[in-house]
Amino acid sequence: METQIAGSSAPDIDDNEFIRLLGRSRAGDAGSLLHILELLEPDIQRLSRFMGMDRQDAAQTLRTELIQQVMKGHR
């Protein structure tokens, strides 16, 4: 069953595939983390418009927070 990441404009991705990407990211697979960032990049760009700061800085802030949230499960 394919679903969208909740509230995201990311393309359809199988839930199990997304969970695998998270697991591999948390295990240190940079390619998987990059894939997650790529999936969510359209949302990052859209949200960066509303943050009241330079769009590039806002997008980078969102990416940094996303990486931190993904890696939280690593501990």
Q: One-letter amino acid identity for 24?
A: R
In sequence order, which residues have a C-beta less than 8 Å from that of residue 71 and are 6 or more positions away?
25, 26
**Residue 72 forms part of a structural domain:** yes
**Residue 2 forms part of a structural domain:** no
**Residue 64 forms part of a structural domain:** yes
Q: What percentage of the chain has pLDDT greater than the value 70?
A: 83
Q: What is the pTM of this model?
A: 0.80
Contact call for residues 5 and 17 (beta carbons, < 8 A): no
Number of domains in the chain: 1
**Residue 57 forms part of a structural domain:** yes
DSSP H or E segment with residue 14: strand 13-14
**Residue 18 forms part of a structural domain:** no
Q: Note down the domain range covering 60.
A: 33-75
**Residue 54 forms part of a structural domain:** yes
**Residue 61 forms part of a structural domain:** yes
Taking residues 47-73, what's their average pLDDT?
95
How much is the pLDDT for 3? Answer: 44
**Residue 1 forms part of a structural domain:** no
